[in-house]
């Protein structure tokens, strides 16, 4: 089962490698990494998409990461089967490809980009104007 892990770590050479090693030793297999933020305090925030080895538990990955100096797991959650990380720049490309449909297209890509179950565009007087099937 895939999991998405958000982790804060020092923004220094080798830091991500240490996190990757800890994840592997705890039974996690990294599928993708997305840099979410680089902060002015010398800290980076990354999302790590991972699969767990049979019998391995996600809390062992959390413990392994939290045991590293300067590393803190913000959260871990199950990730929709078959889901891929949809990068922010890809979302921007989708929105600028057809500006006339950008508002509706935004609703379509919000669940993928922000890892949500559904999205809807609501008007103050007209109610739901556009929504995903799950909304």
Predicted local distance difference test score (pLDDT) of residue 81: 53
The torsion angle over the Cα atoms of residues 70, 26, 47 and 74, rounded to 10 degrees, is: -50
For residues 5 and 79, give the distance between their C-alpha atoms in angstroms, rounded to a whole number: 9
Q: Does an H or E element contain 92, and which?
A: helix 88-97
Q: What is the pLDDT along the chain (135 residues), one digit of tens a residue?
A: 789 999 999 999 999 999 999 999 999 999 999 999 999 999 999 999 999 999 999 999 999 999 999 999 999 988 765 445 555 667 778 888 888 999 998 898 888 777 678 999 999 999 999 999 988
Coarse DSSP helix, strand, coil percentages of the chain, rounded to the nearest 5 percent: 35, 35, 35
Q: What angle do CA 22, 28, 29 make, to 5 degrees?
A: 110
For residues 120 and 16, give the distance between their C-alpha atoms in angstroms, rounded to a whole number: 36
């Amino acid at each position: 089962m895939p999991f998405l892990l958000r982790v804060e770590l020092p923004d220094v050479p080798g830091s991500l490698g240490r996190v990757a090693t800890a994840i592997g030793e705890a039974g996690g297999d990294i599928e993708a990494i997305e840099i979410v933020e680089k902060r002015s305090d010398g800290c980076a925030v990354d999302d790590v998409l991972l699969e767990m080895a049979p019998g391995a538990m996600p809390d062992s990955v959390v413990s392994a990461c939290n045991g590293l100096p300067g590393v803190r797991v913000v959260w871990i959650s199950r990730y929709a089967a078959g889901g891929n990380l949809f990068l922010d720049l890809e979302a921007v490309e989708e929105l600028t490809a057809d500006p006339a449909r950008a508002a509706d297209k935004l609703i379509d890509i919000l669940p993928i980009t922000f890892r949500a179950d559904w999205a809807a565009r609501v008007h103050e007087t007209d109610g739901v104007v556009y929504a995903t099937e799950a909304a």
